[in-house]
Structure 1
Amino acid sequence: MTSTGSRPTPGWFDISTPDASQARRFYQELFGWTVNVIDDTYAFIGGDGGRPAGGIGQAGPSSPYTGMVVYFPVDDVEAALARAESLGGSRVMEPAPTPLGRIAVFADPDGNHVGLVSR
Structure 2
Amino acid sequence: MTSTGHPHTPAWFDISSPDAPRARRFYQEMFGWPVNVLDETYALVGADGDRPAGGIGQAGPGSPYTGIVVYFQVDDVDTALARAEELGGSRTLEPQTLPGMGRMAVFTDPDGNPVGLLSP
Q: Where do residues 97-116 of structure 1 align in structure 2 (5 Å cutoff)?
A: 97-99=97-99, 100-116=101-117
Residue 27 (1) aligns with residue 21 (2): no
Residue 31 (structure 1) shift: 0.2
Deviations 1:80-100 (A, max 9, x none): 000000001010000011131
> Any gaps of 5 or more consecutive residues in structure 1?
none
Residue 2 (structure 1) shift: 3.1
**What percent identity do the matched residue pairs reach?**
73
- The alignment's TM-score, normalised by the length of structure 1, stands at 0.93
| Partner Cα separation in structure 1 for residue 85 and residue 7 of structure 2 | 19
> Any gaps of 5 or more consecutive residues in structure 2?
none
Q: The residue matched to 1:84 in structure 2 has which SS? A: helix
Residue 49 (structure 1) shift: 4.8
| Partner Cα separation in structure 2 for residue 5 and residue 91 of structure 1 | 26
Partner of residue 87, structure 2: 87
Residue 7 (structure 1) shift: 3.1
| Partner Cα separation in structure 1 for residue 47 and residue 117 of structure 2 | 19
